[in-house]
Chain A
Amino acid sequence: MSTEFGFEEDIGGPEDDGQASSDGKMAGLPDVPPRPPVRYDQSWLTSLMRPFLIILMIACLDIALGAVVARFADDLPPGFATGLVVIAIFGAILGVTTTSVLAQPSQRANRRAATRVAELALLLAIVRLYVWVAGSGVPSLQTLLETPLTSLLDMQFIVCAAIVTISWLLGAEMAGDLSRLALTAGEIRMFERRSDRGADSMRGSGIDRRDVLDSFIMRWVVLGFALILVAVVVRRDVSAENFYGVFRQDVEPAVMIAIILFFVAGLLLISHGQLALLRSRWTLEQTPSDGSVSRRWPILVLSVIGAIAVTAAFLPLGGTFLLAAVLSAIVGGALWLLMELQNLVLLAFFWLTSLFGGGPETQPILQLPETVTVAQDLPRAAPLAPVWLSGSLFWVAIVALVGYAAWVYLHDRGAGFAWLTWLWNALRRRADDARSVLRRRSKEVAAALGDASGRGRRWSLLEWWQGGPKGPDEEVRYLYLMTLEQADEAGIGRSPSETPLHFAPRLEAAVSEEPEAVSFAEELTDAFVEVRYAQRPMTRERAAALRERWEALRRALRRQEED
């Protein structure tokens, strides 16, 4: 008898973590009885009618709001409101479907606020692009960079974003509320064990479904009244006083039909919710059903509402002018009475206070002279950075946020980023290769400068490139290192077994054509030996002198290389 509920097994529940052995048993542990399947109310969670009706209701609301936009935003091009309505409906579809999908038990890991925020962010990005393309036009690059905030948040976008956000929020809220009417796994389990006298007979439920349904009804009523107010706003004339006056009210037929559809769809959803409420009540009371209730329910609802709707179409609608006048008179009279009562009370109060006579004279309040402010054009401080820089950073941040939102949204949808991952890995490999080459070269240079015992400071070229020589000693080492680099490129590189003093004659021989270079090579080698091995500090003047004369040696080695 419970088959009508359509209970299905958990498709996303906690699975084995893969540690079981090949025979399916955990090594070293006794046999564990298989976990009974967890059943969920799939017939309710996967129903299509409920999301469809919710989207229909919100679409009606969007049509009415679109009519308001079209009515009062005369500067917008024709068709803009229609596109806005389409996007709003798309937002509602997004909100409803995402909420309905996340209500599935297998999606419990994806119920994150980040997903919903990312979804809304993408939607607002679409709205922004639409408003630029179809509305105010895409601003120039200069405007985007110089006034990014104003470009992003203009009044058209704010209004359209508000409408789309409301649609999305309403869709998510209403879908979420009605999803809560589904039976929980615990309630299903209790119902299935109703014949087991040893089963737990507690019949509590953590969800007040009556309250959920009542809140939905209240929302339906409030939104309905809001729609009627919108219709009042968009109409152009007062109704005439006869039966056919409805056709002369100059209310857009689309708005009128939307409001009627809104109420009818709401009634259908209320009925749907009532069925869910009964199902849950019977489950908690452990009352089986033979399926006839669920089978007949939609037919009966459509028949009743259809019959009432058709009958209502033939009932009189006109002639409310006199009634309206009477009601207005009643309301006006009540307000007048309230005002007169208030005046009487105030009069009595002042009369009573006057009976007590004058009080002590109060000092007049000192009146301070008006401060006169003189607007002065203060000289503007010179900008620290170009104006376009802040705008660029702003848009980079916006694009990064939207991109991250898209990634979060698509990732949670199961979209694959294999190509992106491949690209990222390729870039990382290139960077790693470059870094390893750099590290290897710096180690080679450091090794060339170090002695056999391993004493002395070993540094890398990268350290030099990062900050340059940091003192006279470092500068001497730097100059000698660069000399070795140049000599290596000239084909007379120092071998690892050669000490600087052994290498010096070869170096001098290579640059023998320039006596200045020869003497400098000897002097540089001596200075390096002092700094590197004798640990004798170098003076700044001597280091500066060496730096100045180093260029000659470098030129000589360059000529050697070219030869």
Chain B
Amino acid sequence: MHPIFWALLALFLFGALMRMDWVYYLAYVVGGAWIFSTWTVRRSLGKLEATRELLDRAFVGQTIDVRLRLHNRSRIPIAWMRIEERVPLELKDRVDYQMALSLGGHESVERTYTLACKRRGYYAIGPLSLRSGDLFGFAESRWEENVQRHITVYPQTFPLPALGLPSRIPVGGLATPQRLMEDPARLAGVRAYAVGDSQRRIHWKASAHSGALLVKKFQPAIGLNLVIALNMARADYGTRYVVGVSEWAITVAASIAAWGVEQRQPVGLLCNAADAALGGPPPDLPPRAGQAQLTSVLSHLARAQLHSEAQDFVSWLAPRLSRLEWGTTLVVVTPVVSDDLVWLLHEAHRRGSSIVMIQVNDSIESRERAARVERLGMYMYVVLWEKDLHLLQQ
């Protein structure tokens, strides 16, 4: 009990014993200040509305403006209030997010602060905590928000203007040097008529112009059903540069997914990571085209974390490969390419998938293994830096 309470009691008793009625006036004034302070402080924060407006998605390197709006639904002003927002370290662009202000009756204030998305991830903003008190120091109250807002920071992606990913799908929208089949919808010029050419391929207008028989040339094209398999098993990343290598793997996977969607190809994602939002492994994303699919893929990759208790990657990937459609191009992003993985993927290759292995961590037997993989009809690249991404552009 605040000492003022005992002073009031003593004042009251003194006035009664001394029979001095006017002393009660002092007790009313001092006691009134105490009661008013205690009562208003207890209800002030309950009458306060706090809302937060922010974009819940952003890319690495962007800044997010968070607008915090406070509205006092009561007529009684709040003399002082200390606001503190909990912000993850990866999003901070200042030391602390706190402020002291006053709020009048039925008044609203807006305060804006920025978050710097320095690293991909899934972050919780808040809870917002408030602390308020009265004018005389008789009472204080605290309030804390019971919900949190989450922000998804997508991983960084690098532009990949032309990736030479293999495919066995004969038709599609991607130009390819593989002349498996010419796409009759993609005219690539004319040439002189040769014995054996079909009459349906004669370009009559050009022939009439030139006075000689000319036939059409068609550009070969493929369809790319792209599935990215990302290995996020903690055990496969060793002990050195774990964070850097895993982040690079995610960046590579995101860059390839972005390229695929940009080329209007279906893209899917298989990932054995731990999802920060779900707590467990994320669901597999079947190949789909469109920006929405890219958003889903990037969201999965943003929330992906190294999984300490993940199943062995080969064992985890095997049942998923059996569900792949014929002609799917599977891009496996992994820190280590083991023999088991190579044989597993070779089986998938024999079943009709095109396999590309991207090793994001260097090892001694990388070259030897890459040569062996190529002999098996698959592709393997060691991509350690951004400059190594050109290896994929063939």
Q: With A277-B137, A296-B104, A312-B28 in contact, is A195–B22 under 8 Å at CB? A: no
Chain B, Cβ-Cβ closest to A287: B98
Asked if A246 contacts B19 (CB within 8 A), the reply is: no
Asked if A293 contacts B79 (CB within 8 A), the reply is: yes
Chain A, Cβ-Cβ closest to B81: A293
Q: With A217-B3, A259-B26 in contact, is A194–B21 under 8 Å at CB? A: no
Find chain A residues with CB under 8 A from B17 CB: 324, 327-328, 331
Task: Tell me the smallest distance from the CB of A289 to a CB of chain B, in Å.
Answer: 4
Asked if B16 contacts A245 (CB within 8 A), the reply is: no
Instruction: Scan A141-182; emit 1 where CB is below 8 A from any B CB, else 0.
Output: 000000000000000000000000000000000000000000
Instruction: Scan B84-97; emit 1 where CB is below 8 A from any A CB, else 0.
Output: 10000000001110
- A552, B77: Cα distance in complex, Å: 111
- A305, B36: Cα distance in complex, Å: 10
A contact residues, total (Cβ < 8 Å): 64
Contact stretch, chosen from B7-15, B251-259, B358-366: B7-15
B29 touches A (CB below 8 Å): yes
B135 touches A (CB below 8 Å): yes
Task: Tell me the smallest distance from the CB of B140 to a CB of chain A, in Å.
Answer: 10
Instruction: Scan A295-308; emit 1 where CB is below 8 A from any B CB, else 0.
Output: 11100110011001
Asked if A264 contacts B29 (CB within 8 A), the reply is: yes
Asked if B25 contacts A317 (CB within 8 A), the reply is: yes
Q: With A213-B137, A267-B33, A308-B32 in contact, is A194–B102 under 8 Å at CB? A: no
- A285, B82: Cα distance in complex, Å: 11
Asked if B23 contacts A282 (CB within 8 A), the reply is: no
Asked if B30 contacts A263 (CB within 8 A), the reply is: yes
A311 touches B (CB below 8 Å): yes
Number of A-B contacts (CB under 8 A): 149
Task: Tell me the smallest distance from the CB of A220 to a CB of chain B, in Å.
Answer: 9
Partner among A217, A274, A308, A324 whose Cβ is within 8 Å of the Cβ of B36: A308
B101 touches A (CB below 8 Å): yes
- A256, B26: Cα distance in complex, Å: 10
- A256, B23: Cα distance in complex, Å: 9
Q: With A304-B33, A312-B29, A315-B28 in contact, is A194–B20 under 8 Å at CB? A: no
Task: Tell me the smallest distance from the CB of A106 to a CB of chain B, in Å.
Answer: 30
Chain A contact residues: helix, strand, loop or mixed: helix
Asked if B79 contacts A270 (CB within 8 A), the reply is: no
Instruction: Scan B61-81; emit 1 where CB is below 8 A from any A CB, else 0.
Output: 000000000000000010110
Asked if A249 contacts B20 (CB within 8 A), the reply is: yes
Find chain A residues with CB under 8 A from B100 CB: 278, 282, 287-290, 293
Chain B, Cβ-Cβ closest to A320: B16
Asked if A238 contacts B29 (CB within 8 A), the reply is: no
Asked if A195 contacts B95 (CB within 8 A), the reply is: yes
B24 touches A (CB below 8 Å): yes
Q: With A267-B30, A270-B137 in contact, is A317–B96 under 8 Å at CB? A: no
Asked if B80 contacts A256 (CB within 8 A), the reply is: no
Chain A, Cβ-Cβ closest to B32: A308
Q: With A228-B20, A249-B22, A308-B33 in contact, is A292–B102 under 8 Å at CB? A: yes
Partner among B21, B30, B133, B135 whose Cβ is within 8 Å of the Cβ of A301: B135
Task: Tell me the smallest distance from the CB of A228 to a CB of chain B, in Å.
Answer: 6
Task: Tell me the smallest distance from the CB of B45 to a CB of chain A, in Å.
Answer: 16
B278 touches A (CB below 8 Å): no
Task: Tell me the smallest distance from the CB of B118 to a CB of chain A, in Å.
Answer: 15
Asked if B95 contacts A194 (CB within 8 A), the reply is: yes
A384 touches B (CB below 8 Å): no
Partner among A218, A245, A289, A290 whose Cβ is within 8 Å of the Cβ of B21: A245
Chain B, Cβ-Cβ closest to A196: B95
Asked if B135 contacts A318 (CB within 8 A), the reply is: no
Interface residues of B in 97-148 (CB under 8 A from A): 98-104, 133, 135-137
Find chain A residues with CB under 8 A from B22 CB: 246, 249, 251, 256, 317
A97 touches B (CB below 8 Å): no
Task: Tell me the smallest distance from the CB of B21 to a CB of chain A, in Å.
Answer: 4
Asked if A300 contacts B32 (CB within 8 A), the reply is: no
Find chain A residues with CB under 8 A from B94 CB: 195
A527 touches B (CB below 8 Å): no
Task: Tell me the smallest distance from the CB of B87 to a CB of chain A, in Å.
Answer: 15
Find chain A residues with CB under 8 A from B32 CB: 308, 311-312
Most buried by B among A214, A217, A231, A300: A300
B18 touches A (CB below 8 Å): yes
- A274, B80: Cα distance in complex, Å: 11
Asked if B25 contacts A296 (CB within 8 A), the reply is: no
Asked if A221 contacts B137 (CB within 8 A), the reply is: no
Asked if B101 contacts A312 (CB within 8 A), the reply is: no
- A246, B15: Cα distance in complex, Å: 12
- Could you list 13 further interchain pairs (A-B, Cβ under 8 angstroms) beyond the known A239-B21, A278-B100? A194-B96, A195-B94, A246-B21, A256-B22, A259-B26, A263-B26, A290-B99, A292-B102, A293-B101, A296-B104, A315-B28, A327-B13, A331-B17
28 interchain pairs, CB-CB under 8 A? A194-B95, A217-B4, A224-B11, A228-B20, A264-B29, A267-B29, A270-B136, A270-B137, A271-B135, A274-B135, A278-B133, A286-B95, A286-B96, A287-B100, A289-B100, A292-B101, A296-B79, A297-B135, A300-B79, A300-B135, A308-B33, A312-B28, A315-B24, A323-B16, A324-B17, A324-B19, A327-B16, A327-B17
The 10 closest A-B pairs by CB, nearest first: A312-B28, A308-B32, A289-B100, A274-B137, A292-B102, A317-B21, A293-B102, A296-B102, A287-B98, A221-B7
